[in-house]
Structure 1
Amino acid sequence: MTYQEVIEELYDLEDQEKVIFKARKFGIISKNSLGVYHKDLKELAKNIGKNSELGIQLFDSGIYEARILCSKIFHPKDLNENLMEKWVRTFENWEICDSFCMGVFAKSNLALTKILEWSTREEEFQKRAAFAIMAAYCMADKTSDNLLFQQFFPMIIDASNDDRFYVKKAVNWALRNIGKRNIDLRQDAIKVANKMIQLEHKSAIWIAKNALKELQKESVRSSDYPRNIYRTP
């Protein structure tokens, strides 16, 4: 599909009532939104296939859903730091932040660099991006050993005093996903959570208790990565 064909398709799907509904129900406030749901964008992305050049054009259109679509068709191997910096500075809500972090950033060779760099950013959705990448990277990287993920714990502890809703939710998400990587990291994450409770900071306590509630369940699912160690025949 050409750029113009995709734009026309997006306008055909426009529904401004959905813009209002998403804002009210999910807190998704966005500029220049057409009100196209993810399931429709996912289907459109499937029809397009991976196309990084088209993805850049769609992002530069300024249409909110075109930018979400970019996150679905852009190939992570084509990512560079200039693009990441340009895009992260435009993130205006959790939906577009997470779409890029999960769909593109966490799958790129720059994931670890940006986790480290963005984890101390002041802007809410730029800081959230660091921990959204971290959470997604736990599933994207299937081979690294535990030491890599243990190095995320100090960043999680440092960010646990951030009371902003969309930051603390992402910090919590990252802690839970590290813990769900394998049985040893689960025990490590539980120890970190208990340490955070002792900080006696409201957001740190919320992050920790929410993580413990999931990680201490007998039924918690484990990815068993790396599987050559944690899932033997």
Structure 2
Amino acid sequence: MTLTPGASVEEILVHLRALGNEANIAGMARYGIETATALGITTPQMRAVVKQVKRDHARALALWRTGLRDARMLAILTAEPKRLKVEEARTWAGDFNSWEVVDTAADLFTETPFWRALVEEFAADPREYVRRTGFAMIAGASVHRKTEPDETLLAYLPLIEKHATDPRNFVKKAVNWALRNIGKRNRACYGPTLALAERLAASTDKTARWIGRDAVRELKSENILKRLKP
């Protein structure tokens, strides 16, 4: 079945279910992906569907409301960042239940005009996946927002330090990810980021120490030093 840009939610759901694969679901679970509503669609298959149906913001919102993992991934990939409202982003974030959904949505959110406000808001949220979203957004923005002033990203270092003691798995990994990506952005970001990483590495807190040591290890690696060489 070939979908068209005008495909309805119902038509898309029929197509997604036809692509479902139980064996893939087991593999996803091994990577810590929430599979309760998953159909087992692979990334190449999802990309093909995205290419066929194109972006449609109203339809993306309807796909999200189905609650199905694969429909929600398609919703994120076909939503229109310039039409996404802040309340819609908040609603989606409140539904997040898997790191892969978070990390995919974070890239969408950083394309919105209000992304910086969301970073602060989500990082302050006590819910694990919402907080992860804030730091995944920092990590993504450090790479994808090429024209963003370095000062924007460096201003998040205190936020990273503040939450470096959150021991929850999906938070600490995102905090670490954000720290490393800021440091790898360019030479101007490298020094302040490495200084924070080294400070965290010397912390008495186990989580902060892990975050810092892991970041120092990568930031001082030969590949990174060569790439950032003046």
Do the structures match in fold with TM over 0.5?
yes
Q: What fraction of aligned residue pairs are identical, expressed as a percent?
A: 27
Q: Following superposition of structure 1 onto structure 2, how do residues 137-176 of structure 1 map, counting pairs within 5 Å? A: 137-176=141-180
Separation (CA, whole Å) in 2 of partners of 1:187 and 1:209 = 15
Aligned to 1:14: 20
Aligned to 1:116: 120
Separation (CA, whole Å) in 2 of partners of 1:135 and 1:222 = 21
**Cα-to-partner distance string for 1:117-175 (whole Å, 9 max, x where unaligned):** 11121110000000001111112321232221111000000110011110000001101
Q: Following superposition of structure 1 onto structure 2, how do residues 63-102 of structure 1 map, counting pairs within 5 Å? A: 63-102=68-107
Does the 8 A contact of 1:183 with 1:222 survive in 2?
no
Offset at residue 53 of structure 1 (A): 1.4
Runs of 4+ in 1 over 6 A off after TM superposition: 221-224
- Identify unmatched segments of 5+ residues in structure 2: 1-6
Separation (CA, whole Å) in 2 of partners of 1:107 and 1:222 = 30
1:221 to 1:57, Cα distance in 2 relative to 1, 3 A: farther
Task: Give the number of equivalent residue pairs.
Answer: 224
* 2:27 partner amino acid: F
Separation (CA, whole Å) in 2 of partners of 1:218 and 1:133 = 27
Separation (CA, whole Å) in 2 of partners of 1:28 and 1:145 = 34
TM-score by length of 1: 0.91
Aligned to 1:42: 47
Q: 2:58 aligns with which of 45, 53, 62?
A: 53
RMSD (Å), alpha carbons: 1.9
- Identify unmatched segments of 5+ residues in structure 1: 225-229
Separation (CA, whole Å) in 2 of partners of 1:138 and 1:29 = 27
TM-score by length of 2: 0.92
Q: Following superposition of structure 1 onto structure 2, how do residues 203-222 of structure 1 map, counting pairs within 5 Å? A: 203-220=207-224
